[in-house]
Chain A
Amino acid sequence: DAGVTQSPTHLIKTRGQQVTLRCSPKSGHDTVSWYQQALGQGPQFIFQYYEEEERQRGNFPDRFSGHQFPNYSSELNVNALLLGDSALYLCASSLRLAVYEQYFGPGTRLTVT
């Protein structure tokens, strides 16, 4: 039973560039949530996708956008990268929008220089 997978594992980008992170949910799950975790902080909710639509959004600017595909996998796109975007980006999957049992992927560590 495959768990949540994310790619790439690590990424280094320059300020102003754009980045795309990918997530495949746990088998049987249909909901994907994205979180940003800065060093020494808890994960911050970015947004949640279900049925290929953004259902909830946290306090993140429009530079952060996403997509969910028919196979439930998801992408997180960040435009015009800032140094402050350096963080661990976590994807979590669940069933039918539920958050009481989310499974997290290993994350993508993004460094912006």
Chain B
Amino acid sequence: RKEVEQDPGPFNVPEGATVAFNCTYSNSASQSFFWYRQDCRKEPKLLMSVYSSGNEDGRFTAQLNRASQYISLLIRDSKLSDSATYLCVVRLPGGYQKVTFGIGTKLQVIP
């Protein structure tokens, strides 16, 4: 089983729609979780960290479910500019500063 698994998509959604992605992780002791955004042929950029209680940043909401070992990203009122690949990132336990990236979920927002 992969350490971090994501549905690669693509998710094609109309402008204004709400879309949600899930990401599952295999190591129950994983400590920190993040969502990164990567535009085509560009570098990844941190979108948001994921906190145990869930967190929101404008139209974006991230949640963590430790019991089922997944994190989620919800995007409300999708914009054309949200089209990108969304990478799930997990920090491993044991004091390591190494992180593992998922394959990414591609989102295409359609006019």
Chain A positions near chain B (C-beta within 8 angstroms)? 35, 40-45, 48, 55-56, 58, 90, 97-107
Contacts and interface: CB of A to CB of B under 8 A. Distances in A.
B43 A56 contact: no
A100 B35 CA distance: 11
Interface in B73-111: 87, 91, 96-104
Contacts, number: 49
B97 A42 contact: no
Given A56-B98, A100-B49, A42 B103 contact: yes
If over half of A's interface residues share one DSSP class (helix, strand or loop), that class is named, otherwise mixed; here it is loop
Top-6 shortest CB links A-B: A42-B101, A104-B43, A97-B97, A56-B98, A43-B101, A42-B103
Contacts of A104: 43-45
Contacts of B32: 99-100
A56 B97 contact: yes
